[in-house]
């Protein structure tokens, strides 16, 4: 299974529409995960033309922090999602504290709080910084931002592809453009 991962699109604040390169990168994916800060539901609708979509609720999706955009209630959006695909437990959330920022204990407690126990993969966004990092048995994938990579304007963004085959997992960051 191929999963397209995107986060922190901030549309229409960052730009009016997703860059066309997102759809090229996601060609042939079976599922799209958006790790939050979507801002407007039409982004999920556009992504659903590629594959089914699930999304995490981002801190900017609630109209807080002075943002004028607010994601409307949508069955695809939750604070956190937990999926099991081919025996691989995948958690999707907007932000989770990782051991490079805090302690292993805080990381494990956050995983337990969001997903009810250990997961093999955590998909998150929030930082706008792309990366694939392993902490113990957990692979953490952050696709960065498709529209505001590293909070920069006018620079090609990033997404990620997560592949699961025969219970094995791999993740790749893709630079757009």
- Lowest average pLDDT, out of 30-34, 65-69, 164-168, goes to 65-69
In CATH, the number for domain 2-175 is 3.60.21.10
**What mean pLDDT comes out for the span 51-78?**
88
Does residue 112 carry a pLDDT above 70?
yes
Angle at 144 (CA atoms; ends 139, 147), nearest 5 degrees: 155
Query: For residues 160 and 30, what is the distance between their CA atoms, to the nearest angstrom?
Result: 13
Instruction: Indicate whether 67 pLDDT > 70.
Output: no
Q: pTM of whole model > 0.85?
A: yes
Amino acid 126: pLDDT = 96
Every domain of the chain and the residues it spans? 2-175
In angstroms, the CA 48 to CA 10 distance is: 17
**Residue 69: predicted pLDDT:** 81
* 123 secondary structure, DSSP code: E
Predicted confidence band at 66 (pLDDT cuts at 50, 70, 90)? low
CA 29 to chain centre: 15
């Amino acid at each position: 299974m191929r999963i397209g991962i995107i986060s922190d699109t901030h549309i229409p604040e960052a730009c009016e529409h997703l860059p066309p390169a997102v759809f090229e990168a996601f060609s042939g994916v079976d599922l799209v995960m958006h790790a939050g800060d979507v801002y407007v539901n039409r982004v999920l609708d556009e992504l659903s033309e590629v594959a089914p979509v699930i999304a995490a609720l981002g801190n900017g999706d609630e109209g807080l922090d002075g943002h004028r955009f607010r994601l409307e209630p949508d069955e695809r959006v939750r604070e956190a999602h937990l999926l099991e695909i081919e025996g691989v437990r995948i958690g999707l959330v907007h932000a989770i504290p990782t051991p490079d920022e805090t302690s292993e204990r805080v990381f494990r407690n956050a995983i337990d709080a969001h997903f009810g126990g250990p997961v093999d993969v955590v998909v998150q966004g929030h930082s706008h910084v792309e990366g694939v990092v392993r902490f113990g048995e957990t692979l953490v994938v952050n696709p960065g931002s498709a529209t505001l990579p590293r909070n920069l304007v006018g620079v090609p963004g990033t997404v990620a592809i997560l592949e699961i085959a025969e219970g094995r997992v791999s993740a790749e960051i893709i630079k757009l453009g």
